[in-house]
Amino acid sequence: MLIRVVTFSFFFTLLCGPAHSQEDVTLARGYYQLGVELYKRSDYGGALKQFKLSYAASKKADLLFNIARCYESLGETELAIRTFQQLIDAKPEEESGIRERISNLQRSQSKDRKRPKKSSLVPWLVTGGGIAVAVTGAVLTGISLSQQSSLEESNRTGDDWTDVQDKNSLGKTLNTSGIVMLAVGGAIVATGTVLLILHGRKEKRRATQAWVAPAITAKSAYVGAGFTF
């Protein structure tokens, strides 16, 4: 699971004292248990919230490790590094192991920054292709109109009927092709625009998830539920 498991007795022993009331202990343990359940279900956003609440109620340093792991799983590398640093400040004896984790995160962060985001180019390529097709269609339509003018001129001057027919056929073909390409190009541009919008939302959006998880305290049992956005 790659997060720190805190047993009831260990958790209770460390929390009890003048700085924490029994209510704080019960709440902190309940939040922790919800966080573990959500983490198991890969709802890292929900687990993060519960571990933060547990830490706020208990100030138990080991919870910082779990919080950092949630950030790491969510791709929030910078926040994960900061939280691991908080853990080092709270538990200097673990500095060696945590420093290694921070170094791994920093290397991964550096690679991500250097790696080109090819997927982000796709919406732009689609939109650009659509514009090119639409422009081509507009050009063909313009040429067909020019052919129409030439045809009218040929009729007035009494040109050979075969030439007039050829011009008429060419004009119709160009006009049809131009209209089709305008329509196709417009559709491609619309698709590219939608992809751009969706890509922008994807960068900021956190998947909405519903969760239901049981929690058992010293004197009661209850079920927690909610949504993450």
Note the pLDDT tens digit of each residue in 195-222: 878 776 665 544 444 444 444 444 444 4
Helix axes 22-40, 62-73, angle to 10 degrees: 30
pLDDT of residue 145: 74
pLDDT of residue 142: 79
User: Residue 227 pairs with which residues in a beta bridge?
Assistant: 210
Inform me whether the pLDDT recorded for 181 exceeds 70. Answer: yes
DSSP state of 19: T
Note the pLDDT tens digit of each residue in 78-104: 999 999 999 999 999 989 989 999 999
| CA–CA–CA angle 65, 43, 83 (5° rounding) | 25
pLDDT tier for residue 76 given thresholds of 50, 70 and 90 = very high
| CA end-to-end distance (rounded Å), the chain | 23
pLDDT of residue 174: 74
